[in-house]
Structure 1
Amino acid sequence: MKKFWNWVRDETTEERTLYLNGVISDETWWGDEITPKMFKDDLLSGAGNVTVWINSPGGDVFAAAQIYNMLMDYTGKITVKIDGLAASAASVIAMAGGDVYMSPVSMLMIHNPSTIAIGDSEEMLRAKALLDEVKESIINAYELKSGLTRAKLSHLMDAETWMNANKAVELGFADKIMFAEGEKTAADSLIFSRVAVTNSLISKLPKQQKPKTGTPIESLDKRLSLISH
């Protein structure tokens, strides 16, 4: 079975490197997902410090939570390096790094959890309650790493926030930018909010003009006719 992750061992230092490239899933359907059981088997097959390279669009939040817990519980040091994308559930896994590094061309994205529900209004309410609790659990990981308030993190998730490396470091989601020399200023940072962009575009749409008030043209014509006669 082809897996979109692999381990590389450094025999001289006893350290291992893990590359995560793919969708995080609770079960394997096509043989190209990162699943918790397979991940655990690989993680515990060796010892020593581990460097985790992440390039993943996310996936199953509960599977990501399991992988996050395995990394947090691992006896060696975990260093996370984001070289492409750590989005959605993958961003939760990234928070398990004692040190989180981002490539200067990488992105990190956080947003609210989502699901598909079928049923009556009570079923919809139960689905909403579940999503609310899942969001709180995700915030726990973000809060532990970034130190941001839960309210701030909730707003960032509501807006589906995309961060480049500088902004992720500024907000505490990452610790350092790879290949960079010296400190970056806030002016170099970028944060992208889908909600903010949508609102900005809406504000630029031409507003419907209200009808002008005044004397109707027919009345003016009559007055001009009376004056000319």
Structure 2
Amino acid sequence: MPITIEIKGPIISNDDAWIYEWFEMDATSPKMVSSALSEANGDDVIISINSPGGYVWDGSEIYTALKNYPGHVEAQIVGLAASAASFIAMGADKVRISPTAQMMIHNASMWGYGDHRGMTKAAEMLKTTDRTIVNAYALKSGKTADELLDMMAEETWLDPQMALENNLVDEIMFMDNSVKMVASASAGAPSMIPQQVIDGIRNKMMNEKPKAPEASADLVTKDSLKQLFEEFKNELKNGIKPKEPEQAPAAKRNLSKLFLNL
């Protein structure tokens, strides 16, 4: 019997996973998927997807893990496979979509700052990212890179029949024909915690408590974290930028995170 692995909520980094766990929010990190694949130990797996997308590089890690898995992988799009989640689905041997589900593909985006040279370089980086993402769609669909890049640039939403016609899925679940789907509704999918909120929470905890959440579990309550989360959300809503943690020199900082998210 196949083992089911869920890819739910935003695609996040391993470092951010514990924050989502504290707030009991659905999210998927590469480590979660890799661990589940290791436990499956070569048995057939079903990847159940309902995700608005998230970080590109973490999505790429998940995609690669699925492609490298020695057993048969079937992706089932049960709600939404948007952005990074859509190319994660391409890592499966077979992709099936529910008649009530949707896919969405679009260009990568990022947060950044700097002078005109930095912005020009960032734009080139995003173009390169789009060209790498399109490889996953091209390998699955057989469509040309130019065709797919045009679809990404237009932020293309696909109902099950459109996804099937574009060879991005192999089958519409529960159906033996190609009846076009017409019902549509807003996604309402879980969104990512704003990076400013994550940074603010980290900064406060680093200043007041031990770094490792496990070591400070007796000092931090879920209610206090939720209260802190609401405070940062209100600050962002009112246009107040939360205090950010001190940053390392530019040469030692990681590149800005790339997003494929609603």
Q: How far, CA to CA, are the matches of 1:166 and 1:156 in structure 2?
A: 16
Matches within 5 A, 1:70-219: 70-181=65-176, 183-184=177-178, 188=180
* TM, length-normalised to structure 2: 0.64
User: Per-residue deviation at 1:189?
Assistant: 5.8
| 1:128-187, Cα deviation, whole Å (9 max, x unpaired) | 111011101100000000111111101000000000000000001001000112x316xx
Who is 2:237 aligned against?
none
User: How far has the Cα of 1:30 moved from its partner?
Assistant: 2.4
Task: Answer 1 or 2: which has greater strand percent.
Answer: 1
In the alignment, residue 19 of structure 1 is paired with which amino acid? E
TM-score by length of 1: 0.73
Partners of 1:30 and 1:79 in 2: CA distance: 26
User: Is residue 2:7 matched to residue 1:20?
Assistant: yes
Q: Which amino acid aligns with 1:132?
A: K
In the alignment of these two chains, the number of paired residues is 175
d(CA) in 1 for partners of 2:127, 2:11: 21
Contact 2:5–2:33, Cα closer than 8 Å, also in 1 = no
Deviations 1:87-121 (A, max 9, x none): 00000110011110001110000000000110100
Checking the alignment, whether the CA contact within 8 Å between 2:90 and 2:168 is kept in structure 1 is yes
1:66 aligned residue: 61
In 2, distance between residues paired with 1:189 and 1:34?
Answer: 29
Matching residue within 20, 24, 30 for 1:36? 30
SS of 1:38's partner is helix
Q: Which of structures 1 and 2 has the larger relative contact order (alpha carbons within 8 angstroms, sep 6+)?
A: 2
> What code does the residue aligned with 1:148 have?
K
CA RMSD, 1 decimal = 1.5
The higher radius of gyration belongs to: 1
> 5+ unaligned residues in a row in structure 2: which ranges?
185-262
SS in 2 for 1:20: strand
Gaps of 5+ in 1: 1-12, 193-229
CA distance in 1, matches of 2:94, 2:34: 21
Identical pairs, percent: 37
Separation in structure 2 between the aligned mates of residue 128 and residue 138 of structure 1, nearest angstrom? 15
